[in-house]
Structure 1
Amino acid sequence: MLAELRGLNEECGVFGIWGHDEAAQISYYGLHALQHRGQEGAGIATKNGKGMHVLKGEGLVNEVFSGDALKGLTGHTAIGQVRYTTEAGRGIENVQPLVFRSTTGSMAIAHNGNLINAKELKESLEQQGSIFQTTSDTEVLAHLIKRSSRGSLTQRDRVKKALSMLKGAFAFVVLTEEGLMVAQDPNGLRPLSLGKLGDAYVVSSETCAFDLIGAETIRSIEPGELLTINNSGLHSERFAQPGERAICSMEYVYFSRPDSDIDGLNIHMARKRCGKQLAREIKIDADVVTGVPDSSISAAIGFSEESGIPYELGLIKNRYVGRTFIQPTQAMRERGVKMKLSPVHQVVEGKRVVMVDDSIVRGTTSKRIVKMLKDAGATEVHVVIAAPPLVSPCFYGVDISTDSELIATGRSVDEVRELIGADSLTFLSVEGMLQAIGRPAEMKNCGQCLACFTGEYPTEIYADTVLPHEKELGR
């Protein structure tokens, strides 16, 4: 087993709007739509003629912006973030947007992703006199922009120069005195889309936020693109040449809401096709198919339709319990599983059950659900996973940061099956997943990051990203 990785491994959601008199209120609703991407902190920053204003706090969106909280956030432009943190990234100082004030103007930044060269850049900046106030990677960009301000460069050029120094996964929204700037890393690892609401422009990690506020989706932000939105309209340019397109596969598997689209592909339909493909790859004699709410329901429906085994609601989710996958500690995750799901006894009792799930990470949830179903009277529980096994950690912002927590690492499928107590266990093949999502069958240049399934990373992994113990093991 490998030791934990360093750094912040966060899964967040960002939102921005330019040109709307109710920018803060629209951002509030946009962040509500993105709440599933982070439940530990939220913030909104706005700009008006008197400068930048920010309100942020720890908790859910409706907790942070309760009562008349939004009244102080005036202006026709805003950015916001919902945040998930690991243990190392907790604290109000790390909740975004981060606001920076100087004699040359104010700036607010919100970020989704993880910079794999953050440690290297911080050390270099500190040697030049920078002092960091947070442990967030996001602050690195602000210092780089400020360091680039010497000379006659325009603001856009300073931002471009700073962005070109970053490595890893990032989707930035930057609010400056001159406009709203939006940037996507050269591999497009994190999702980010542009939309329009009347005469206003909006950007969001997921298009489901556009649906909530009544905006029209225009397009995805391109890899390596810096998009500037101001009173003159849109200005698109490159801060880096696009690399190999590699959108995070976990967006399709787990993170994104089913009603979101990525590159024009609906998440629900992609997951449903994964379920259908999985049913083509295996044959199981069973009486009922059930999905683990919520992100597995689409795949379960697809599996049922293709296999002919009837779909039933065999598991009920308590809507007031957060996702166990993004709970920061193991103790919290285990308590969450107990509170989160309940079996429907009359559906599963005396039945051979196919339990469809989107992934197995640590195995805790799967083991407990299998036991729940058997305790409820299921005679057999066949676990089918609508994604390949997760065998490698993520360095790009998903909380799969410990090899020791990845149950499939170094184990055969049958060994994992035995650990979770299932009668059988089947994973979707990588090729099958790509085919279902509509990507090229060849894993190379397929348009998705497959690192957590294959161990092949689309970018260079810096030596300081991995703990010394892992280096010894050759990672």
Structure 2
Amino acid sequence: MLENFTGLDVREDADTLHEECGVFGIWAPDRDVARLTCFALRALQHRGQESAGIAVGNGSTVLVRKDLGLVAEVFSDYDLGAMPGKLAVGHVRYGTSGARSWEAAQPHLSTIDDVIIALAHNGTLVNSDHLRAELDRVGVRFRSNTDSEVAAKLIGFFTGHEHRIIKGIRHTMNLIEGGYAMALARENALYAFRDPHGIRPLVLGELPAREDGTGAGWVVASETCAFDIVGARFVREIEPGEIIRISEDGLVSEPGTQARATHNCIFEEVYFSRPDSIVDGSSVYSMRYNMGRQLAREAPVDADLVIGVPDSGLPPAEGFAAELGLKFGEGLIKNRYVARTFIQPTQEMRQMGVRLKLNALRDNVEGKRIVMVDDSIVRGTTSKQIVRMLKDAGAKEVHVRINCPEVKWPCFYGIDTDVQAQLISATKNVEEVCQFIEADSLAFLSLEGLESCVPKVGWCKACYNGEYPVEVPPAFAAGKFVEGFKPVSLYPPTDGATRSIDEELQVEVQ
């Protein structure tokens, strides 16, 4: 493990939505699991750029390497070569819970007598404060203030009492509330499990054997794009409330906690997932393309050129142009080498804002009426800067089209918008937002239109309509809502949401 990294990070993209992280797990005793995990984390790098980590189980112990930074910065060839093993879990993080520090980087470790476990978590637990207090009461100590470490310590605590990790996971799933997808490594087994609503994504894949019959294995990941890079075949989604255990005994599926109505995060399809990932048999690219077509039907505009804001705005921009028979082209160039920087921010840098990442292509936009398609508007400042940039480059008109509804409500399940006042659409109507971003016109895709472009499964749409599948405790939500907004809890909390550790110990699990 590395010493704590003390660099300062400047978030030039504070006006965009971020998910907490991406997870990956692999069981493949005849393969280089550390390197394969590193490759997979590179494929998932878009899900988190603050820190990266890999834990490897080698049959006798668990080795961990993690630090702040991108995957390519954290792991050297020497590091990966020094981590042989049968299985591994990996993690990339964008923090929504806890400080940005080495301790907050994942996987998180917990010990059970002489057994070490390492946990990688995507999501947010809404009752972590209650559970942290319970663990503190029984003498469990923490190294970070993340909800992910709370989950790791809970599993360790209950396993110490039950003497079986599967029981420790079940007890933990009985207590934790929120959206989560987790992968856990011990020295000789890999576990993966998902929240009972399936809010955060988790998929299962299979590694084919080599020609000599070796190398077969299993993988789990936040997205299928991680399977492609390691040569795995998608098998299925891990079901809400399910636990997968993979070891020398093979793959075993067991119930973890009772599944509830499915509520996958719909923003995965709008923004978070890579376009080449597959969800319920459809590519994310095709869904976004269709969002653009539907948006064109709902809010057409006469223009000379349709452009997308890289990267997630490109497929819907293509669809928008195709539906109206307009020209689709490139109008914004993205600098991919300034995603993060470890220097002290200055006023000059703040004023540069989005220009650190994007630049208008004058040759294509000068003198033209432009339709600019983007995935969302959060605070509005980024959209405003891009509109100004295009007009500075000579665009006659800039019409903004957004391939999702207005984001009006905070998210508590793994997206970094848990304060409603941050969201411009919570306090301004469409016309007022249009004036703020200085566009010639503005339109959002309707919620019904968005749902028509994604698979017919249950979706969490709380950020659009304020209907939350997991009730948010008042203490957790205090001060998070704008006056006059009253969220709706679709389901009551589970029986274990406020249960004490002592009470949970009395619950019998298989």
- Structure-1-length-normalised TM-score: 0.92
Shift of residue 152, structure 1, vs aligned partner: 5.0
Q: Which residue of 2 aligns with 1:6?
A: none
Which shows bigger deviation, 300-309 or 149-158? 149-158
**1:27-56, Cα deviation, whole Å (9 max, x unpaired):** 010000001111110000001133110111
Are 2:419 and 1:399 aligned? no
Structure 1 segment 226-237 matched on structure 2, within 5 A: 226-237=243-254
Report the equivalent of 2:20: 11
Tell whether the 8 Å contact from 1:322 to 1:336 is kept in structure 2 after alignment: no
Deviation sequence 1:54-107 (CA, Å, 0-9, x none): 111110101000241112211010001011125842100011111223424111
Asked if structure 2 preserves the Cα contact closer than 8 Å seen for 1:191 and 1:262, the reply is no
Identity score, percent: 47
More displaced stretch, 314-323 vs 50-59:
314-323
Change in CA separation of 1:302 and 1:471 when aligned onto 2, cut-off 3 Å: closer
Q: Distance in 1 between matches of 2:371 and 2:424?
A: 21
Write the deviation string for residues 336-392 of structure 1: whole angstroms up to 9, x where unpaired: 511111111121111111100110011111001100111111111100000000000
Q: Which residue of 1 aligns with 2:146?
A: 136
Partner AA of 2:363 in structure 1: Q
Residue 211 of structure 2 is aligned to residue 162 of structure 1? no
Unmatched segments (≥5 aa) in structure 1: 1-8, 440-445
Query: Are positions 1:422 and 2:433 aligned together?
Result: no
User: 2 CA distance for matches of 1:331 and 1:128?
Assistant: 50
Per the alignment, do residues 113 and 425 of structure 1 end up closer, same or farther by CA in structure 2, a change over 3 Å counting? Answer: same
Give the letter for the 1:19 counterpart.
A
Matching of residues 227-266 of structure 1 within 5 Å? 227-266=244-283
Measured in 2, the distance between the counterparts of 1:168 and 1:431 equals 25
Rounded to whole Å, the distance in 2 between the matches of 1:414 and 1:372 is: 21
Instruction: Classify the secondary structure of the residue corresponding to 1:416.
Output: helix
Which amino acid in structure 2 is aligned with residue 229 of structure 1?
Answer: I
In structure 1, what is the equivalent of residue 336 of structure 2? 319
* Alignment counterpart, residue 468 of structure 2, candidates 450, 457, 461: 457
Task: Provide the C-alpha distance between the structure 2 equivalents of 1:240 and 1:330, rounded to a whole number of angstroms.
Answer: 50
Q: Is the 8 A contact 2:86 2:188 kept in 1?
A: no
What's the Cα RMSD here? 2.2
Distance 2:99 2:159 in 1: 28
In the aligned structure 2, how far is the partner of 1:51 from the partner of 1:38? 27
- Residue 188 of structure 1, aligned match among 198, 202, 225: 198
2-structure distance, mates of 1:214, 1:63:
24
Q: 1:290 aligns to what?
A: 307
Residues 329 and 125 (structure 1 numbering): CA distance in 2 closer, same or farther, change over 3 Å? farther
Q: Say if 2:37 is the partner of 1:27.
A: yes
User: Post-superposition shift, 1:172?
Assistant: 0.4
TM-superposition CA deviations, 1:424-455 (whole Å, max 9, x none): 0000000000001143xxxxxx5111000011
The verdict on how the C-alpha distance between 1:363 and 1:471 changes in structure 2, with shifts beyond 3 A counting, is closer
Alpha-carbon distance in structure 2 between the residues aligned to 1:52 and 1:154? 17
CA contact (8 A) 1:196 1:215 kept: yes
Q: In the alignment, residue 466 of structure 2 is paired with which amino acid?
A: G
For the residue of structure 2 that corresponds to 1:277, the secondary structure is: helix
Out of 172-181 and 72-81, give the one that drifted further.
Answer: 172-181
Q: Distance in 1 between matches of 2:258 and 2:309?
A: 40
1:217 matched to which residue of 2? 234
**Which of residues 288, 299, 311 in structure 2 aligns to 1:271?**
288
Contact 1:10 1:114 in 2 (8 A): no
Which structure 2 residues correspond to residues 190-205 of structure 1 after superposition, within 5 A?
190-198=200-208, 199-205=216-222
Alpha-carbon separation, structure 2, partners of 1:114 and 1:279: 35
Whole-Å Cα distance in 1 between the matches of residues 78 and 99 of structure 2? 28
Greater shift, 90-99 or 79-88, is seen at 79-88
**3-state SS in 2 of match to 1:316:** strand
Mapped pair 1:56 → 2:73: no
Task: Go from structure 1 to structure 2 and tell me whether the alpha carbon gap of 1:333 and 1:297 turns closer, same or farther (over 3 Å shift).
Answer: farther
CA contact (8 A) 2:280 2:455 kept: no
Superposed CA offset, 1:238-278 (max 9, x none): 11221121111111111110001122221000000000000
CA distance in 1, matches of 2:174, 2:349: 39
CA distance in 2, matches of 1:206, 1:45: 19
Counterpart AA for 1:447: G
Q: Structure 1 pair 288/151, CA: closer, same or farther in 2 (3 Å)?
A: closer
Uncovered stretches (5+) of structure 2, i.e. residues with no partner: 1-17, 209-215, 487-510
Match of 2:88 among 78, 84, 91: 78
State the partner residue of 1:410.
427
1:302 maps to 319
Distance 1:470 1:300, change over 3 A: closer
| Cα distance change, pair 224–87 in 1 and its aligned pair in 2 (3 A) | closer
Pair 151,367 (structure 1): closer, same or farther in 2 beyond 3 Å: closer
Instruction: Find the aligned partners of 2:435 and 2:127 in 1 and give their Cα distance.
Output: 39
In the alignment, is the contact (CA less than 8 A) between 1:321 and 1:336 conserved in 2?
A: no
Q: Which moved more, 1:136-145 or 1:451-460?
A: 136-145
Paired residue secondary structure (1:189): coil
Amino acid at match of 2:236: R
Q: Alpha carbons of 1:334 and 1:362: their partners in 2 closer, same or farther (altered >3 Å)? A: farther
Change (3 A) 1:171 1:376: same
Q: Match of 1:16, SS?
A: strand
